Amino acid sequence: MYMRMAWFKVRPGRWTEYETLYKNSMKPAPGLKWRLLSRDVNHPDAGYVVSVWDSLETLQSWESSDYFDKVFMPSIQPLLEGGLTIAVCEVQHFEAPTPPSPRQAD
C-alpha cells in the first residue's frame, strides 16, 4: 500500500474556489483506496491532499494519466501559489477504526 501526499498553497482568498474545483474534478481511479483534502488550521491558504493506493503502479498510473496531466492539473494551477510538494511513501502500518465523516455539519 502506498500513500501520496501533496502540500500546496492557494492564492489568498481562493480556497473555496479551489475546494469546489477539487470536489467537482476528482473522480475514482483504479487502485485508489481513499483520498482526502485537508486545510491547514494555522495557514488557511495551505492544504494537503492525501491519497492511499493499493500499489505503486496504480498511483503512478494515476499521476501519468491524461486526465490528471492534461485536465486536472491545468485546471487547478491558476489557483495555486507556487507548485505542489509531493511525497510518495510506502505504508508501513495502517489502522482504520471507523472514521468520522468530514465536517459533521456538511
Q: Could you tell me if residue 98 is inside a domain?
A: no
Rounded Cα–Cα distance for residues 10 and 71 (Å): 18
Task: Supply 7's cell numbers.
Answer: 502540500
pTM above 0.85, yes or no: no
Q: Going residue by residue through the chain, which has 106 residues, state the pLDDT in tens, using 9 for 90 and above.
A: 999 999 999 999 999 999 999 999 888 899 999 999 999 999 999 999 999 999 999 999 999 999 999 999 999 999 999 989 999 999 999 887 776 666 654 4
pLDDT at 32: 95
Q: Could you tell me if residue 99 is inside a domain?
A: no
Domain count, the chain: 1
DSSP state, residue 64:
T
SS3 87: strand
Q: CATH number, domain at 69?
A: 3.30.70.100
pLDDT at 105: 45
Q: Could you tell me if residue 97 is inside a domain?
A: no
pLDDT at 83: 87
SS3 56: helix
Q: Could you tell me if residue 66 is inside a domain?
A: yes
Rounded Cα–Cα distance for residues 75 and 72 (Å): 5
